[in-house]
Structure 1
Amino acid sequence: MRKIGLLLLVFNVSICTWSQITYPKASPFSKLEQEIGLSKITLEYSRPAVRGRELFGEQADGQPALVPYDRIWRVGANESTKITFEHDFVVDGHTLPQGKYALYIFPYREYWEVVFHKNTGHWGDGRANYDPSEDALRVKVVPIKTMQYHENLLLTFENITHNSAQLIIQWARTKAVVSFATDTKRIMENEIREKLANSPTGQTYYEIARYYQEEGIRLDEALPYLGKALQMNGKTYYFYRVKALVEGDLGDYTAAIESAKKSIQLAEKENKDEFVRLNQKDIKVWQEELKNN
């Protein structure tokens, strides 16, 4: 009898599982990965729609809106929004250690508090289970009204550099911005030391020089690295392109023009029209600099 009962239980569970319907979610899931320098931020959230509702604060009749003031909001729907940092970041002057956090917001009438919460196990906003002592960091932002309208909640990264980015939170005509910064230079210097100590190739030297040129740092070191890259890997149009830029940044316009011409010759052989145009444009600038000096 026990065996029969167990079989019936398994059968009933299987029937329930088979009978479940997969249906489209009202607030579809979205995942965003954004590289920032040598680090990465991953964002996972569900995107609710406005559907004609009053979103933040109070409705016209004084009743609470969908996201009331003074109460925790999960910054999305369904599960809590998750944000993961590969490296330490600085937010509003405070260090946020690498790791995965639940992202919450407490909307107040005059400002919002954005919360990076260490406990990622709560469903939704946690409500009674939410413990402020588990916050990793809180920062204040002031939301603004915009002309652009977003029916679905939208989280994006904008104004991205090697060292920073902004998280843009937009829903309906409300927009808030959270700024992040990371010490890419420190990470990159560690990477450079490691690569130089382990049989560097011509490509290694080129990439180091290109990074220095893009950041406008250590240009005196970048030039000999490019020399090693050309010696080891032969004549390459993009090696000469960066060499020209470094020489131009150093004020050696004659050498820059010569390197740019070599880059053009090599780029033309490979039908790299964009590099031809870029070099031609810079040659005109450097020629003007020579005339004026």
Structure 2
Amino acid sequence: MKKLLLIVLLITAHLAQAQVQTPSASPAGSVSTTIGLTNVKVDYSRPRAKGRKIFGSDAAALVPFGKIWRTGANSGTRISFSDDVKVEGAAVPAGEYLLLTWPGATEWTVVLYKDVAMGGNTGKYDKANDVANFKVKSEKLTEKVETFTINITDLSDDNKSGKVQLAWENTSVKFTISTDYDAKVMKSIEENTVVSPNNYFQAAVYYLENKKDLNKALEWVNKAAEGMNSPFWVLHQKAKIQKALGDKKGATETATASLTKSKEAGNRDYQMMNEELLKSLK
């Protein structure tokens, strides 16, 4: 009898734990990228329009204008930054935040909220927990977006900024994230240039491209060339630094040496870059 009772208890426990899994009405989504040296990630749930009116001021709108929205479904949307950033000019410390919005006809209010435990329960919203609160213009889309979508797009050429886009139905909203990686790069240069000649090379290129001390860049690229037996790619960057310093004669000699070595190595890309550089020095 005891054995039978044990079997019944085990079966009952198993049935209590078993759950039927079905697809979510608002499936989980995630998007991430690196802006500068900062990892940016958004985790959210993606509701579908299903023929409903999404944004508007009338009673039929799923997301009414002027009302707080968890910016997605289920437990709301979370955005995280691995470093301190600026969001639409507001300083935001590294960390994870809820992304809350108040949609409008032509303008949205966007908030980064530090109490992530609130989740999708927007009734507990407390303005005191706002880390950033700003307004952005909304745009009309030419093609309908059936499923709520968040993208990280419009990365700048210098990789110092990008935009988070919210898109649903025929509406798009974007806000800007800006990073300042210079301090991290400078610290890395200070700590690592003594370790490897290639670190001197990378530091020299960074100084050249970011218009810092070109004499220091030349000093470093010379150390890299000495430690790496003057490969053509190092000589090419040295020639560019010399050109930026106004030393056309030195730049021409260095670019010519780089061209010769790149031909010997069969590297067509550097041959062409050196030929263009030499033309610019005439």
Instruction: Normalising by structure 1, report the TM-score.
Output: 0.83
Q: Which runs of 5+ in 2 are unaligned?
A: none
- 1:257 to partner: Cα distance: 3.4
Q: Contact 1:34–1:157 (CA<8 Å) still a contact in 2?
A: no
Are 1:67 and 2:63 counterparts?
yes
| Cα-to-partner distance string for 1:130-173 (whole Å, 9 max, x where unaligned) | 22222211111111123354333132232233432222222333
- 1:115 to partner: Cα distance: 0.9
Are 1:169 and 2:166 counterparts?
yes
- 1:101 to partner: Cα distance: 0.7
In the aligned structure 1, how far is the partner of 2:113 from the partner of 2:249?
A: 56
In the aligned structure 1, how far is the partner of 2:61 from the partner of 2:52?
A: 8
Q: Per the alignment, in what secondary structure is the counterpart of residue 136 of structure 1?
A: strand
- 1:179 to partner: Cα distance: 1.4
- 1:213 to partner: Cα distance: 1.7
| Cα-to-partner distance string for 1:180-232 (whole Å, 9 max, x where unaligned) | 22222222222222224xx3310110111111122122222111100000101
Q: Per the alignment, in what secondary structure is the counterpart of residue 49 of structure 1?
A: coil
Alignment partner, residue 56 of structure 2: 57
Alignment partner, residue 90 of structure 1: 86
Alignment partner, residue 291 of structure 1: none
Amino acid at match of 2:188: E
> Relative to 1, partners in 2 of residues 1:71 and 1:223: Cα closer, same or farther, differing over 3 Å?
same
Alignment partner, residue 188 of structure 1: 185
Alignment RMSD, CA only?
2.7
Q: Which runs of 5+ in 1 are unaligned?
A: 288-293
Alignment partner, residue 142 of structure 1: 137
Q: Contact 2:46–2:73 (CA<8 Å) still a contact in 1?
A: yes
Q: Contact 1:112–1:140 (CA<8 Å) still a contact in 2?
A: yes
Alignment partner, residue 259 of structure 1: 254
Alignment partner, residue 279 of structure 1: 274
Alignment partner, residue 151 of structure 1: 146
Are 1:122 and 2:121 counterparts?
no
Are 1:14 and 2:9 counterparts?
no
Alignment partner, residue 38 of structure 1: 37
Q: Contact 2:97–2:115 (CA<8 Å) still a contact in 1?
A: yes
In the aligned structure 2, how far is the partner of 1:237 from the partner of 1:27?
A: 54
- 1:41 to partner: Cα distance: 1.4
Q: Contact 1:101–1:119 (CA<8 Å) still a contact in 2?
A: yes
| Cα-to-partner distance string for 1:51-105 (whole Å, 9 max, x where unaligned) | 33322124xxx32422211222222233321111111112233211111111111
Q: Contact 2:189–2:203 (CA<8 Å) still a contact in 1?
A: yes
Amino acid at match of 1:57: G
State which drifts further: 161-170 or 202-211. Answer: 161-170
Amino acid at match of 1:191: S
Between Structure 1 and Structure 2, how many residues are aligned? 280
Alignment partner, residue 216 of structure 2: 221
State which drifts further: 207-216 or 166-175. Answer: 166-175
